[in-house]
Amino acid sequence: MDIFIEYLKVFVVGGLICVIGQILIDKTKITPARILVLFLTMGVILTAIGIYKPIVDFGGAGATVPISGFGYSLATGVMKEVDNVGFLGIFTGGIKATAAGISAAIVFGFLASLFAKPTIK
Amino acid sequence: MNTNINMTNQEYSDYVDKKAKNSPIIKNVALAFLVGGIICMIGQLITDIFKNFGFSKDDTAIITSISLIFLGAFLTSINLYSKIGKFAGAGSIIPITGFSNSVVAPAIEFKTEGYILGLGANMFKIAGPVLVYGISSSVAVGFIYWLIKLFM
């Protein structure tokens, strides 16, 4: 039963974040690229002012899987690194925390495009 | 039908908007909720599985994002992600799999223009701005945090 509630929370939080994006798309004709930038930046800002962490604690992957969770990693990473190494952490913390994701996107993207054929529209 | 032939342009466009939008927005939002929620649950499942294998919290987070990015790239390469995207909208754009899709889709599409300036350059057509603003804002946050720590 516990696990059911746990996954329900993930589902609802993740779903709601996507719903905000969908409403923006339908109401303002905002492009997907802008949505991604907006949500990522919001994730960074909300983490910095301490709002996103409680959402992550509550919703788990529901808050970390959306692109705003990428912003959460960037912001927590940079603050942790400033704690550890001081000033230089400002420049290393964010990418350090998200290095795996960025590398994975580049490598899998490169491999996928080597094997996939462009679709004719 | 209560259409009025004497409608002004504004009235007419309001009328069209009302007719055209009402039903899709509820359907779109419901589908975005459903698909976005499911992708997040898959993420949670991957996290829980690797946690059971004894990986640390940080490691499971890394493994989860790599797995989802792989999933997004794979589904894009077999041309399935765009099909999901057609009905899921933001539900497929906002999860990290959508970020992966935004890298892979242009890379595949522009491969015909060459490996360097086609594939290589266009890979970050959408992800580039995401990284520019994401990393810049993280540096800004880090700088402010450093300043606050300096004076406290």
User: What is the distance in angstroms between the Cα of A94 and the nearest Cα belonging to chain B?
Assistant: 6
Q: Are B93 and A32 in contact (CB under 8 A)?
A: yes
Is B139 domain-assigned? no
Question: Rounded to two decimals, what is the model's pTM?
Answer: 0.88
Is B28 domain-assigned? yes
Q: How confident is the model at residue A43 (pLDDT cuts 50, 70, 90)?
A: very high
Half-sphere exposure (CA, 13 Å, Cβ side) for B151? 5
Q: Can you give the pLDDT at residue A29? A: 79
> What's the Cα-to-Cα distance from B13 to each of B8, B17, B39, B111, rounded to whole Å?
9, 6, 37, 42
Give residue B20's domain range.
9-125
Is B150 domain-assigned? no
Domain count, chain B: 1
User: What is the distance in angstroms between the Cα of A29 and the nearest Cα belonging to chain B?
Assistant: 12
**Beta-carbon separation of B102 and A119 below 8 A:** no
Closest CB from A41, A66, A95 relative to B95 = A66
List chain B pLDDT tens, one digit each, 152 residues.
455 667 777 777 777 666 665 568 899 999 999 999 999 999 999 999 999 999 999 899 999 999 999 999 999 999 999 999 999 999 999 999 999 999 999 999 998 899 999 999 999 999 999 999 999 999 999 999 999 999 98
Q: How confident is the model at residue A66 (pLDDT cuts 50, 70, 90)?
A: very high
Is B147 domain-assigned? no
Domain residues of chain A, as ranges? 2-115
Is B130 domain-assigned? no
